[in-house]
Amino acid sequence: QVQLVESGGGSVQAGGSLRLSCAASGNTYSRSCMLWFRQAPGKEREGVAIIDNYGTTNYADSVKGRFTISRDNAKNTLYLQMTSLNPEDTAMYSCAAGPNCQGLRARYYVYWGQGTQVTVSS
């Protein structure tokens, strides 16, 4: 089993920055791949960024150049550094994990955190 707990959300003005954290525990192999998703009210869940155990990353086009995913395996923590935030980034952000990276599609990942709210005002 894997447990994931997000933190770091909040309210920020457009153009601002936030760093999200996801503290992970449990089976290490089962969280080899880690991701950030987000879901805004009335919208489908969107994969934001993914990182494997070697540090290889990929991003949704909507956040490329603005968001950076990273992980500190010694601290069992996943991060999402968000810069140049705009109101369209407002959503509940959740981290997810799985043993293998299979793209930014939510259905492939079985371990999820509860989420942390990010609100960007104009």
Average pLDDT over residues 80-99: 98
pLDDT mean across residues, the chain: 97
Q: Could you give phi then psi for residue 88, rounded to 5 degrees?
A: -70, -10
Give per-residue pLDDT as tens, 17-62: 999 999 999 999 999 999 999 999 999 999 999 999 999 999 999 9
The pLDDT value given to residue 40:
96
The pLDDT value given to residue 10:
97
Place of tokens 């550094």: 81
pLDDT band, residue 112 (cuts 50/70/90): very high
List all residues 6 or more positions away from 41 whose beta carbon is below 8 Å from its beta carbon.
Answer: none
Cα distances from 21 to residues 8, 31, 43, in angstroms, run 6, 15, 23
Average pLDDT over residues 57-72: 98
The pLDDT value given to residue 61:
97
